[in-house]
Structure formats: structure tokens, C-alpha cells
Amino acid sequence: MANITDYIEWRGDIDFYTSPFNEIDAVILCQIIYLNFEGLIPSEFLEKGPTLKDIAEYFRTAPDKDNRSDTGALINRKTAELFLKAANSNRFSKIEASGFINKIDLEEEEQFAAAVFRIRRPNTNAVNTNAVTPYAEAPSTENPDICVVYRGTDDTLIGWKEDFNLGYKTTVPAQKDALDYLESAASFFGGRISIAGHSKGGNLAIYSAVNAQPQIQKRMARVYNNDGPGFSEDFFKTEKYLAVRDKISSYFPQLSIVGMLFCHDTGYTTVESDNKGLYQHDPFNWHTQALSFVREKDTTEQSKFISSTVNQWIQELPSGERETFIEAIFSVLSSTKARTNSELGSNKLGAAKTMLMSFTKLSPQTRSTIGKVIQLLFKVSLSNIETAGISAALGLKN
């Protein structure tokens, strides 16, 4: 089946004037933001920033291109290729980018990155003689003027730590920075705003949209959440959320694991996907057609089993035990001195020995808590298997 790379090949010659910005365009920008654009996309907001075509030229010839292209162990290594293909297309080449930020704060346990992509409105008085197909109607007003894009969890262990902190904290630093970033971008740029993110970036997109000032919310065109983890059940009952609910579009692969963490609102879209398990989290494995993702009726039984088990486990754990468990796990990981998943995986044997030694040094009380947490997970898993049936729980039937 076709994917986001095929989409660029099919639709790359068609500009946004002819065919408006859509969910696939949004997820392509979400994938691109995983690359290292420091020094290539200006850190300040600009009225006229460099185009993706210009940025791609610098990226392609940069002496550190290989390092910039290295997205780590968990992000698809074809991301740089996707960016260069998009930047060379008529559709994406003229998009301007500015306001790039890439923040890693070990003390605050934060990983945050974002950029603004500007889609210029065409001169509606001009005749588009290069259009692939004649305009069937008046030029579209559906395009946002800017799209604020948040990066999801990258290769850093601190990024993963912040994700786990969502399990017991009301807010995490990246959410606060996402809101500040959106409000700053909205203050600088006029016009309609779309917001997008993949994985944790999707969570940030929703959080910032919901908590933005009403005057900014009125300017929002669409909020794109691509397999991002959810929030507490109460979050979806707030007036702030209800004010933008109709502008939020959430997309999850058939076997969603990351995205189905915590609570979600109803009405999300399930995307036909391939590959196994966690690999479906990768947008390269999502099936596309001309203007949208290929839809499925719902997530798989295996996805439902995993999400219900993990979410029930989290809910039944006292907040203090959740915190103890998460802090202990990451203290063991940090004992390896690795800062990224790639570094951790490059010396698996040595890392395993170090982590085992670190685990034995944990206090008896902490080890006891970890044991109780794991025991509860097994208990919830067995209970859900009995409820759902073994074959359904294991995804043997759909």
C-alpha cells in the first residue's frame, strides 16, 4: 500500500492553492521536524523565513549531513530522504520555516522541539497557468497561514522520562513550553493557525490548543494529533477543551499502543497500517490515498487489550507508587551514562550488567514497590485476558 513518500510522488506537483492542506501534509511536517535543523531554520520568528527548498540545499551539502540525518534508534531513518523529496516538490518547496527550537533540559526532565511552517496565500487575482487541473471552484480558503509543529519523543532518554512523567504529573515542562510557543507564534504571525504533532507532539498540540487564549482559539483552523498519548478523563470535560473540540482531529494506527495511553475523546480516526506492534507508531507505515489516510473501522483487539491493561494498571497504582516505579527505572537506565536509546543499544551487554548492579543498590523499599507494581500488571493482564478471551487479547482475531 501507498505511504507518505508515495503521496509526495503523487501529489507533489499540486500546490496548496489547487488542493488545500490536509492531514497527510500535516503528518509529513510532523515527521520532518524530527531532523536536526539547528543553524538551518532560524531560531527567531521571521516575516519571511527560508523556504524548505532553500533549507534542503543547505542540509544536502552540510558537512554534518550524516549527523543531521541520524534520527536515532526509534525514528525512521528515511526521514531525511522524505524531507529532501518534499522540499524538491512544488507542493512543499515554497513553505517557509522559522522559530526552530530544540531544548533538552536534564534538570527539568524536558525534551521539546518545534518550528513554524508558513504557507503563503496566493495572489487570488493572478491566473495560475501552471495548474495541473483546472480550478473547479474559487480558490480555497481552507489553508492555514501557519502550521505550528511539535516534535514527538526523540532518541533521548530524558524525552522518554518526560513521557513516563505524564503518568503521575498533572503537567510536564514540554506542555508548558508548547503553550508559550504557540502564543508567541500567534502574536508574531497573523491569520489562521493549524497545530500538529506526532507521538508526544500530538499531546502537545492538543494541550496548547486547549489552553490557548480564546482569541487564538478563534484563529485555529485544525489541530492534528497523530498517535499522541491522551490525558485524564476530566481534561475532556473542561470548557477549554469543549471550546476547540470540533477543531481537533486525532489519528491512530490499527495497532495503536503509544497513542492509546491514558484517556481519549471519542470520534478519532483509525488509519490502515502495516508492520507489527510498536512499528505501527511510525507514520511511514500508515496507508495513504490522494487526499487522506486510508480509514479502518477501529483499532485491533490487540490494541484494545494492551491499552485497557496498561491504563487500568496505571489507574489502580497509587500516584506515589507510580512515581517511585518511574524514578527507579530511569535511575537504573541513567547508571549506564547513556543519554540516548542509540547509546544504550550500542553496548547492550555492558549496559545490562551496569543496570543489574544499579538495581541491586536500590533501597529494599523501592525494590519492594517495583515488585508490587509488576505483580499488579500481571494481575490486570490476566484479568483482561479472561474478560476478552485469549485469542482476542493476543490479536489472533479482529
pLDDT more than 90, % of the chain: 58
Q: Is the pLDDT of residue 10 over 60?
A: yes
Cell numbers at residue 195, please?
A: 497545530
Annotate 171-190 with b (16+ C-beta within 10 A) or e (fewer): ebbbbbbbbebbeebbeebe
Contacts of 284 (CB under 8 A, 6+ apart): 3, 4, 5, 31, 76, 78, 82
Q: What is the pLDDT of residues 33-89, one digit of tens each?
A: 999 999 999 999 999 999 999 999 999 999 999 999 999 888 999 999 999 999 999
Q: CA–CA separation, 129 vs 77, rounded Å?
A: 38
pTM assigned to the model: 0.86
Q: CA–CA separation, 137 vs 364, rounded Å?
A: 71
Cell numbers 536534564 correspond to 106
3-class secondary structure, 150: strand
Cβ contact 264:307 at 8 Å: no
pLDDT more than 70, % of the chain: 89
Q: Is the pLDDT of residue 217 over 90?
A: yes
